[in-house]
Amino acid sequence: MEAVLGHLRGAIERGEYAIGDKLPSEAELCRALEVSRPVLREALRALQTMGLTVSRTGKGTFVVATAVEDPTFGDYAASDLLEVRRHVEIPVAGYAAQRRTPENLDHLAHLLRRMEGETDTTAWVAMDALFHLGVAEAAQNPVFRRVIEEIRDALARQSAFLNELGGRREHSDREHRAILRALTDGSAQDAERAMTHHLDRVETTLTDIVRRTRTDTTGAGT
């Protein structure tokens, strides 16, 4: 999928497809790139997330930009999402360390064990969002929970994007484990530090994907 995405993204960035142009049909692209339709559709979804294309039902996929600027996950731009996460999830982790109940810790530990053993990416992504929701619940403030619930779909979409293109899954599992350790120890400072590190890594991976050079996306670079 990443190779297909790189090929299509490179073609758009080189101007082979201009703004307003319609990409070839799925059948044509599958034949030309020698890939299955599910693989192609994943690549097309990634192009749309990057803001390079839009899909119009019954009409096809059209180019709307020739450079990646700020990916969109659901209703929210990546930059807006990350800004809110830093202002909410870092202090929430600190409160959760001070207020968590044994039930909260058991729930998070159970989720993390399932995530670490899960082989289905879609299921893992859903549990990733649930983990962050669980941390908010452990803070014992319903407003925090409501905020994370509001962005839950965007979190899942972002997680899927980063895992597919940035290989984030194993790193995320380790970072989540560090967050849980801090909550278990009851250390607000460690919990905030662990959540900060997690969000820093999310931002770094996202930035790397967005700023890849044209030679990287065409497979000519290293």
Residues 99-141: tens digit of each pLDDT: 999 999 999 999 999 999 998 888 999 999 999 999 999 999 9
Tens of pLDDT along 86-101? 999 999 999 999 999 9
Share of the chain above pLDDT 70, in %: 95
Tens of pLDDT along 141-187? 999 999 999 999 999 989 988 887 778 889 999 999 999 999 999 99
3 has a pLDDT exceeding 60: yes
- Give dist(CA 120, CA 97) in Å, integer: 30
217 has a pLDDT exceeding 60: no
Domains of the chain: 2-69 (1.10.10.10), 72-210 (1.20.120.530)
pLDDT band at 212 (very low <50, low <70, confident <90, very high): low
50 has a pLDDT exceeding 90: no
In this prediction, residues 67-84 reach a mean pLDDT of: 89
- Please give the full DSSP string across 33-102, using - where no structure is assigned: HT--HHHHHHHHHHHHHTTSEEEETTTEEEE--SS----EETTEEHHHHHHHHHHHHHHHHHHHHHH--H
Residues 63, 23 contacting (CB under 8 angstroms): yes
Structure tokens of 84?
Answer: 């809110």
Taking CA atoms, 157 is separated from 51, 57, 77, in Å, by 14, 21, 11
- What confidence score (pLDDT) does residue 171 get? 93
Tens of pLDDT along 28-37? 999 999 999 9
The β-bridge partners of 53 are 63
- Give dist(CA 220, CA 147) in Å, integer: 43
Taking CA atoms, 40 is separated from 31, 47, 156, in Å, by 11, 11, 21
